[in-house]
Amino acid sequence: MDKTIITVAPTGAWPTKENNPAVPMTPQEIADDVYECWQAGAAIAHLHMRDDEGKGTMNKEKFRETVELIRSKCDIILNLTTSGDLHATDETRMAHLIELRPEMASYDAGTMNWAHSGIFMNHPLFLEKLGKTMQEINVKPEIEVFDAGMFYNAMYYLKKGVLTGPLHFQFVLGAPGGTAATVENLVYLKSLIPNDCTWSAFGIGAGHMPILYATLALGGHVRVGMEDNVYYAKNRLAKSNAEFVARAGRLIREINKEIATPDEARQILGLKNRAG
């Protein structure tokens, strides 16, 4: 299928209104933002929650409120983070999946130093538990790969049955502590994955546009949004997440491809939890 999936990551765990006043923070703001992105062509929303102070949280009730608001308005695929707070326990990183049954969730395939300030812990025991739990409740893992070692780690879990194929990868380029956002790195990572897999990629910060173009050229799916980038162009903040989605949509059409609808994305990714 010559369709390209646009994922929007509207919030993430870090940017605040001081970085960009348009970052959605509350469940209502996130739901309104996601609805606008769905109208602009996003098929998937990758969601993080914030507590009342604006810090990343795995609070189940925040997820529930947001998920319910979004589900009442549109059919966008929900991809919930399992890594919204570096201090969350293994249990709180999974509890919202078990209760809310999103169609997708992130699966970070290794531990790394995070932004030169902390440790992004994904212990082998946690990854086994998370992979098996996601299989049981039909939540498709989006394997987040910050460097090549994480790719090989995911392949180990595939062989072991902790993950089942075909896998879907999200290459995260330009995170401090991970692989830099260069086209060469993307080409290399893409060359590693088996043919039956699907993949998407994005660059953080200044690497955003080169990686967006290169991903489209290589036939991947794309991710945009303020989790990764609050600037639309040099010295110009994005007005909204939908502005990023609309640009990605224009680029997809310029290369004679089509934007995948949520249902087309479900088919491409083989999702199972349609009813939610």
Q: Would you tell me which residues interact with Zn ion (CB under 5 A)?
A: 81
Closest approach, Cβ 258 to Zn ion, in A, equals 26
Q: Among residues 176 and 219, whose Cβ is nearest to Zn ion?
A: 176
Q: How far apart, in whole angstroms, are the C-alpha atoms of residue 68 and residue 190?
A: 35
Angle in degrees, CA 6, 133, 83, rounded to 5: 55
Closest approach, Cβ 224 to Zn ion, in A, equals 13
Q: Among residues 46 and 266, whose Cβ is nearest to Zn ion?
A: 46
Q: Nearest residue to Zn ion, using CB?
A: 81
Angle in degrees, CA 146, 112, 87, rounded to 5: 115
Q: Among residues 3 and 14, whose Cβ is nearest to Zn ion?
A: 14
Closest approach, Cβ 192 to Zn ion, in A, equals 22
Q: Among residues 113 and 267, whose Cβ is nearest to Zn ion?
A: 113
Closest approach, Cβ 78 to Zn ion, in A, equals 13
C-alpha distances out from residue 180 to 39, 222, 243, Å = 32, 17, 25
| Residue among 125, 85, 126, 135 at smallest CA distance from 105 | 135
Q: Among residues 146 and 151, whose Cβ is nearest to Zn ion?
A: 146
Closest approach, Cβ 30 to Zn ion, in A, equals 13
Ordered alpha helix ranges (H), the chain = 27-40, 60-71, 95-100, 124-136, 148-160, 183-192, 208-217, 241-254, 262-269
